[in-house]
Structure 1
């Protein structure tokens, strides 16, 4: 069945790292899974959201 309305307590974004992984990739899913296991929010404000998020793409 599962818990479908899980919301962890608010966390400071400095308490967990953002990810540069693209949405839908195995790397991104692993990051989300690790966050859930640690009781952290799924989304970090600085997570990469699209391919064009060039701020975090090395030149």
Structure 2
């Protein structure tokens, strides 16, 4: 059984859905969407089998509440 989307693709499993992971089991990020920092974080999440999106991730430039945390 693959542990991430990348592993599934390598195995030719195109309809893979990772197991649900509670948002308290991984950190949110205040990195700007589209920034190198955000892309690095998304790549690490993908490689480790975590969901790409955390409900508390910074979603826009004006999302100052999350950026200040």
Give the TM-score category using the shorter length. 0.7 to 0.9
* 1:50 matched residue in structure 2: 60
Q: How many residues align?
A: 57
- Greater gyration radius: 2
Change (3 A) 1:5 1:25: farther
Gaps of 5+ in 1: none
Moved over 2 A (4+): 2-7
TM-score for the superposition, normalised by structure 1: 0.83
Structure ranking higher in helix proportion: 2
Quote the RMSD (CA, aligned, Å): 1.7
